Every structure is written in C-alpha cells, then in structure tokens.
Amino acid sequence: MLTRQEDLELRNAAMTWLEVRTQDGLNPIGYEDLLQDFYFRGERRALKDRQAGICKPAVLETALSITTTYRAEGKERPYDDAPGPDGLLRYKWHKTDPNHAHNRGLREAMARGLPLIWFWGIAPGLYKPIFPVYLVAEEPELHQFVVATDGLQNFESSGLGGEEAFREYAESKTKRRIHQPVFRGLVMQAYETRCAMCNLRHSALLDAAHIVPDRDERGIAAVRNGLALCKIHHAAYDAGILAVTPDLKIEVREDILDEVDGPILEHGLKRLHGEELRKVPKRRSDRPDRDLLAVHYEEFVRAPSAAAPRIDIGFPGLTAGDRTVPQ
C-alpha cells in the first residue's frame, strides 16, 4: 500500500503524464495506453480499471479515476451523467453496494479532497481525459457522487443548490471544462482529425466548430451539429465569408469571389466555391445535420457578413461568434 504522500505524488505524476501524452488535452488517449504506459517510481500503474468505471488501484485506499463509457451515436447526449439542480455533474456508484471497494475508494478520495481524472469515452476504447475533478458530495439515496471541476471543489453544493447564480456558474464551468473538450474529441474522431473543407490534418490547427451555436448549456453538442474545421475555415465560416449548403456544398461570399489577393484567398477560400465538403464522418448519424446547416446557410444568404449572430450562449466571455472549442 502506498502512503498518503505517495498517493498524492502518483496522482500528480499521472496528470502530468497525461498532459504530455495528450498534448495538453488536444488529443485523446487509448485504452491500452492507459493500462500499459504509465509508470510511477519504476512500477507500471494502470490509470483506468480494466472493466469498471471506477479505478481504485490495489495499492491505494482511494480511487484514482472515473470513466464514462462511450455510447454510440444518434443521441443528443452520449452520456447520462446529467447535472443535478446545482449544475454539477453526477457520477454513479459501482452497482448499489455503498461498501463496495470502488465506492469506498471514491468516498475516501472525496474525504481527502484529492483530485481525480475523468475519462470520457469519445469512441470505443478512446478517451478524453478531464482533470483535475473533485468529488464534493455524495447522494447515497441516488447511488451517486457529485463531481466538481477545478475551481468549484470548495463550494458546498448542497447548501448552494438552490442558488441560481451558482447553478449558472457551475454549468458554464462544466461546459467549458468538460462538455467542450469532449465535443471536440467526438468531432475530431468523427472527422479523423481533418478539416471538412480542405482536409488539413494537424490537430493543433483544427477546431470543432458548431454549425449553429449550442444554446443548451446543459447539453453536449451532438457531432451532427459539428464540423471539424481548420482555423482559417472556422473563422471564415463564423464570419460569413463562406457557408455550407444543406447538401454539403461550400459557397463563398460573392464579394470575396471578386477579390484578387494572395494564395490563401485564391486557393484557401475562392477555390472552395461550389465544392463539396472534402471530409465528412463515415457514420451517417455523425454527418452534418441538414436542418442545422440550413439555419446557418439561410442566414448567410440573407445577410452574409452577419451569418454569425453574436448570441450569448451561456457563459461569460464567449458568444456565438466564438465557436472555437477551447481545451
């Protein structure tokens, strides 16, 4: 059994390792890597349980990570860890025995205020790690723990549950720290890390753009409301320089087509006019939704330069014009 100090060091080492392996969260990580590749003081340590969602290593009294399994397409919300009335997400016990070792491990991590890693499945065997997260309360009657992202762990969720301001803040924080990175992971996976318009394949230059802004602050956006776009095409899409028709053709704004300039304008923008998207997801249900495309496209046709109305989508400093998904 490791000491409490070693427990803390292992956690920190695991999170540092994940940062490096995922390029600060830009890329997902595979199941086998999580089982095989992390070493702490010369010993291999699995960061994920082989089967269970809760990972409580035998050498620790505490849980180290939790996992939300990927669930296939077609649903608005590929997870059921829905937020409670306080805006914080929940994580279910392992089965229903409160004294199961996994559940005790979570309880102990909560009692010690330890950071945990949350692995979100974005494809079978592929995860987006979110960390640190903290357990801040337990709801035994519902067989679940209350999870807070970094910065919210010191709030008493039960005491503040009814407070609108806290709920809004918690939801916006959750959206930024969990839903958006997971959305990015899902979109990148579906588009095989390629720009839908130009096929560029450099994750550092790619964004998960929303076709229309994700106004529902409780929900993760579905992949069918997403487009993997490089920075240029994302900004051009949001600025109404180009649009995508419901049948997946790119249209460039007329005045842009009349312009003469260097290679980015000529090749990067003008030449796309009339072309079909180069990259769409293999799975039909992940492909851009025609109705959602139509919403943006109609706006583009009506008022091209205003195709990206700046609508508040629920958290400070980020409006509908900013469709970038930050890490």
Shortest distance, CB of residue 198 to Zn ion, whole angstroms? 3
Kindly state the helix (H) or strand (E) to which residue 314 belongs, with its residue range: strand 312-315
Q: How many residues bind Zn ion (CB under 5 A)?
A: 6
CB 31 within 8 A of CB 127: yes
How far apart CA 83 and CA 286 sit, in angstroms, is 24
Which one among 114, 221, 230, 292 touches Zn ion, defined by CB under 5 A?
230
Shortest distance, CB of residue 267 to Zn ion, whole angstroms? 11
Shortest distance, CB of residue 327 to Zn ion, whole angstroms? 19
Nearer of residues 7 and 238 to Zn ion, judged by Cβ: 238
How far apart CA 247 and CA 133 sit, in angstroms, is 41
Binding to Zn ion by residue 209, rule CB under 5 A?
no
Shortest distance, CB of residue 61 to Zn ion, whole angstroms? 49
DSSP state of 289: P
How far apart CA 181 and CA 326 sit, in angstroms, is 7
Nearer of residues 29 and 197 to Zn ion, judged by Cβ: 197
How far apart CA 84 and CA 7 sit, in angstroms, is 30
Positions 177 through 196 that interact with Zn ion (CB under 5 A): 195
Nearer of residues 223 and 230 to Zn ion, judged by Cβ: 230
Report the candidate in 174, 27, 18, 8 with the shortest Cα–Cα distance to residue 86. Answer: 174
Report residue 68: phi and psi, to 5°.
Answer: -105, 115
Positions 232 through 271 that interact with Zn ion (CB under 5 A): 233
Kindly state the helix (H) or strand (E) to which residue 189 belongs, with its residue range: helix 180-190
Stretch that binds Zn ion, among 103-111, 120-128, 222-230, 300-308 (CB under 5 A): 222-230
Stretch that binds Zn ion, among 87-95, 179-187, 200-208, 294-302 (CB under 5 A): 200-208
CB 36 within 8 A of CB 44: yes
Kindly write out the interface string for residues 28-67 of this chain, putting x where it contacts Zn ion by CB under 5 A and - elsewhere. Answer: ----------------------------------------
List contacts with Zn ion (CB under 5 A): 195, 197-198, 200, 230, 233
